[in-house]
Amino acid sequence: MNDQPIREANASLRAIFATPVIECPLPNADALNAELKRVILEREKGDKGTQHSNLGGWQSGWDMAQWGGDAFDEIQRAAHAVASQATCDRMGKPVPVKWISNAWANVNRDGHGNEFHTHPGAYWSASYYVDDGGAASDPSLGGEFEIQDPRGVAPAMLAPDLAFAMPGGQSIGASELVRPQPGLLLMFPSWLSHAVRPYRGDGVRISIAINMTPAPSGAPA
């Protein structure tokens, strides 16, 4: 038999079922962050906080829109705008969406982190970084945002030493890390499992979490 070579020019690669993760640095972040840090740390003093995914640290109630002030409103407006830009109808066309949100603040100090979790009942989720505790310039301080591969270990079960030759194909069965920095708005689908690695610094790592859900049809604007 005379074997014929594969015609590479006829092969096409499609990256389907991609997971959208958005990194959006916000302008004027320094002024916003100074005010947000003041408001959040003041709130922490008189509020015992809640316990959800946090492993140590302080997490506020989900009512930050009621006490976060103008600086928080600016962050929430930006998150809604990015969510709208990144959402379409099932034909890929832009669609107007009114977003309903809840939001909370997170304060982590030395040794604090968050276990893997998801945000049921929401469509988009966001993390906004007010203060990274110095970790952006010193990776040894940890505190990374860790995203779990939603495909689980299945792609790596047969041949764990191999990977797919495509963008992101090398991380199968693993996780991806995002290093927070002040002013960064990070957005992801609410079903995506994520965690925060322990922060190991003398400073304070402050973030804001926002869940966004489309308002029901006919809801008032």
The per-residue pLDDT for 162 is 78
DSSP type of residue 39: H
Q: Which two tokens stand for residue 106?
A: 């997170």
Please give the full DSSP string across 95-150, using - where no structure is assigned: ----EEEEEEEEEE-TT-EEEEE--TT-SEEEEEEEEETTTTT-GGGB--EEEE-T
Nearest to 111 by CA among 156, 63, 87, 143: 143
The per-residue pLDDT for 221 is 53
The per-residue pLDDT for 166 is 76
- Averaged over successive runs of 10 residues, the pLDDT of the chain (221 residues) comes to 55 84 95 98 95 93 97 98 96 95 97 96 98 95 94 72 75 82 98 97 97 82 53
∠ CA 57-62-66, nearest 5°, is 115
CB 141 within 8 A of CB 135: yes
The per-residue pLDDT for 199 is 98
CA distance 96 to 92: 13
The per-residue pLDDT for 191 is 97
Residue ranges per structural domain of the chain? 21-152+178-214
The per-residue pLDDT for 6 is 43
Domain 21-152+178-214 bears CATH identifier 2.60.120.620: yes
